[in-house]
Structures are given as C-alpha cells and as structure tokens.
Amino acid sequence: MLICRAAKLLCALCCLCVLCSCGTGFFRQYEYEEEIYLSLDGTATVYVNSSIAAIDALRGASFDTRPTARVDTAAVRAYYATPDTHVTRVSSSRRHGRRFVHVRLDVDDIRHLGDAAPFAWSTYRFEQNGGQYDYLQTIGAAAAKDVGAVGWNGRELVAFRLHLPSKIRYHNTKGIESRGNILAWEQPLADRLRGAPLTLDARMDTQSILYRTLWLFAVTFLAVAAAFAVVIWWVMRRGAAPPPEPARARR
C-alpha cells in the first residue's frame, strides 16, 4: 500500500513538472526555421520549416494565412524556386491552429543564396582563410508585413541552424544548445520582425570529417591486414615440418 501511494505521488509530480515545463517554454515553439547543410565546395542543402503566416510577415510573401485555407504547395514551390535554388520537396502540416510548410532545396553556391528573394534578408560569405574556412551570415531587416491576428502568443521563436562538414574551430552561438557539428542561433519572433541584428559566424577546418574518417578507416584496415598476414606467416613457419636429414652413404 505504501509503495502504491509513493508511485502515485511520483506520477503526480512528473505530470506537474511536464505541465510547468509546457508553460515555461520547455517545448520550444518555433515559428520559422532555416537549416543549412553546408559542403566545403560551397554547395548546400537548405530546409525551411515555417508557418505560412511567418513567411508572409518575415519575407513579405502573399500566401493565404487563414487557418482554414488549403496550403498551395505548387505556389510555395514556385516562390522558393529560383536560378540559385532548386526545390526538391514541399510538404505541409498543421500546428497551433496554423498551417506550416516544409521546403527542401539544393543550392549551387551558398554565396549566392542571398540573390534568391526568400533569403534576400541575408548576406552570405564563405571563403578559405589560411588553414580554415570562414562562414559569415548577416541577417538584416525582415519585411515586417502585417498579417493580422494569426494566434501568436509572444513565445514564438525563429531559429537558424548550420550543419558543418568539418571540425569547428570557432562559433559565436551564445546560450543556445549546439552539439557536434550543428550550430544554432535563435531569436524571438518579435525581435526578428523588428529587425534585431543577428550574425552567424563559424570557422572550420579545410578537411571534411568524412574524408578524415575514411582515411583513418583505410589506415586501420591496412594495419589489421598486415598484422593478420604476419600472424599467418608466423604460424605457418612454426608448423612446417623440418626437412629430412640426408641418408648416410653405406661403406
């Protein structure tokens, strides 16, 4: 009986913690996200995950923000397709009573991504500087278009994430969880709407982690193969029968 009561109390405490976490932003409410997977040759894959309302408000698009409106994925594809960006996938979802779109596109040269209207609020610099590559993205003013009442409660966030291909030597993320080769920068949606400055600065090695991993694997494989060959040679040498003694000549 005592164990049962303790279990119920623990369960109640866990539920209370979850409810409190929800109220204080434990589950972060991202309204607009840009995620870049960068290669050392300057090509990139970019993901945009955003509510229709945020795209209109931040980038000045003219999509239908009504909660009941059907997402026109063909129009979204046309909006993101430019000579510098190649859309490979568009999907949609619904969250917090708002329509969201999820766009995947390939970029020939990250340095020209700002030439595409959906990303024109940013300038991109990616260049080799001595023994490292420097990435610098400066995000300027938003369109700040009035989209009316769309259900925002003030806790919405905007996020920019960067997946880098080599070892990171420096970055200027502050207070945001960044792990491995993934860097993240965040702003409240309200700050992004008013154009609060945001700069993404990262520096990395000139040799990709994949290349170094493959090279290490190859060296390890050759070392193991050589050791195995030595062991086989040693076993065969010890197991070989000694040559017969020559027969003595009869007198």
Convert the pLDDT of each residue in 8-61 to its tens digit.
554 454 444 444 433 334 468 999 999 999 999 999 999 999 999 999 999 999
pLDDT at residue 239 in the model: 64
Predicted confidence (pLDDT) per residue in 121-142, tens digit? 999 999 999 999 999 999 999 9
User: Distance of alpha carbon 242 from its chain centroid, rounded?
Assistant: 65
Q: In this model, does residue 177 exceed pLDDT 70?
A: no
For 152-172, what is the HEC assignment?
CCCCEEEEEEEECCEEEEEEC
Q: What is the pTM of this model?
A: 0.74
**DSSP assignment, residue 185?**
E
Neighbours of 43 (CB within 10 A): 13
**121 φ/ψ angles, rounded to the nearest 5 degrees:** -75, -5
How far is Cα 178 from Cα 175, in angstroms, rounded to an integer?
Answer: 9
Q: Residue 35 in contact with residue 163, Cβ under 8 Å? A: yes
How far is Cα 188 from Cα 157, in angstroms, rounded to an integer?
Answer: 4
| Residue among 28, 24, 68 at smallest CA distance from 49 | 28
How far is Cα 209 from Cα 102, in angstroms, rounded to an integer?
Answer: 28
Q: Residue 158 in contact with residue 200, Cβ under 8 Å? A: no
**DSSP assignment, residue 245?**
P
> Which residues, listed in sequence order, are joined to residue 103 by a DSSP beta bridge?
48, 90
